[in-house]
Amino acid sequence: MAIQTAWVIGSVKNMNHRFTVGMTLKVVTGSRYLYHPNSDISILGGIVQGMTGLVGTPAAVLTRARKVKISGGGNFSITWTSPELRDLLGFTADLDGSASSYIAPHVSPLLFSPGKPLLSELSPRGTRGIRRPLAYYTMSPTDGSTFVVSHGERIDQRFSATHVDIERVYTPAAAGGEWVRWFDECPARGYQFWVYPEVSEDPASTAIASFPGGLGPYVWVPSGRAPAWDYRRAKGFEWTDFLADVAITCRDAPEYT
């Protein structure tokens, strides 16, 4: 059954991951999101670029079931020379050449979906956030005069979702798709991410997902010296581990080039 949800798609900085298409070694380099409409900063785009000329009509997409799908016009093989790239895409083994299409068994650790919309707390829905001045502000205690040293402004946002299924938040395996794994792979390392507020998700579908109205890029804003998050059981379920609340405190960032 299809649901309307938000997808949060993370990235990896300074990649240098190799894969072998047939007998030809290829490499995905640079800072890239799992998916981005600009293929030059998309890991999936890098896979397609590596397959081009070696596999007919190559494609690497995210399906509505949150899984990566890699396909071509005929049977092909891919050896994950860099296991890190295999894991980022949600695969657990090489693509052995027996098929023209392969779907990853796991959700990528760079993708988080709460299974419901995210609430934008600092600005109206569909907007990037609220402008905050970056300034040192002092006021005279005697006459009220002010002195401000300004360093420009940034855009801040906080996304949240309540009563998220625990399977999407925290599992012991953390194989991919859970909040805890996404946090470890992206915000904890200071990597950037995009939020897509309205995605039609369907666990039974192999169709390509659509990403309208993306917001970003963002980086996590820690409340202390290091990025961290708190496990919060949902209201009314404080004595169970069925549902939990999540929140993303973030700030705008320059896009990768």
Mean pLDDT along residues 191-200 = 97
Query: How far is it, in rounded angstroms, from Cα 255 to Cα 257?
Result: 6
Give residues with Cβ within 8 angstroms of 202, minimum separation 6: 1, 2, 3, 64, 65
Q: What is the pLDDT of residues 119-157, one digit of tens each?
A: 999 999 999 999 998 887 888 888 888 877 778 899 999
Does the residue 87 lie in any domain?
Answer: yes
Containing structural domain, residue 69 = 10-110
- Sheet containing 59-62: give its strands across: 59-62, 68-71, 101-103
Task: Evaluate if residue 68 carries a pLDDT over 90.
Answer: yes
Buried b (16+ CB within 10 A) or exposed e, 27-65: ebeeebbbbbeebebbbbbbbbbbbeeebeebbbbbbbb
Within-domain flag for 145: no
Q: Is residue 178 part of a domain?
A: no
Could you tell me what percent of the chain has a pLDDT over 90? 86
> Residue 4 pLDDT more than 90?
yes
Is there a contact between 163 and 26 (Cβ–Cβ < 8 Å)? no
Kindly report, residue by residue over 200-250, the tens digit of the pLDDT: 999 999 999 999 889 999 999 998 888 999 999 999 999 999 999 999 999
Which tokens hold the place of 240?
């169970």
CB 31 within 8 A of CB 254: no
Where are the alpha helices (H) located in 78-148, listed in sequence order? 83-89
Phi, psi of 243 (to 5 degrees): -135, 150
130, part of any domain: no
Q: Is the distance from CB of 63 to CB of 57 less than 8 angstroms?
A: no
Q: Cα(75)–Cα(146) distance, rounded to whole angstroms? A: 70
Interatomic CA distance for residues 187 and 253, integer angstroms: 13
- DSSP codes, 214-238: -EEEEEE--SSSS-----EEPTT-T
- Residue with tokens 């295999």, as numbered in its chain: 86
Does some domain include residue 34?
yes
Contact status, residue 254 vs residue 189, Cβ threshold 8 Å: no
Q: Under a CB-based contact definition with an 8 Å cutoff, are residues 80 and 19 in contact?
A: yes
What would the pLDDT profile of 13-26 be if each residue is shown by its tens digit?
999 999 999 999 99
Residue 181 lies in a domain: no
**What total number of domains does the chain contain?**
1
Report the C-alpha gap between 188 and 182 in whole angstroms: 9
Mean pLDDT of 177-183: 96
Give residue 189's region: left, alpha or beta (phi > 0; psi -120 to 50).
Answer: alpha
pLDDT number for residue 36: 97
Structural domain contains residue 136: no
Domain membership of residue 193 (yes or no) is no
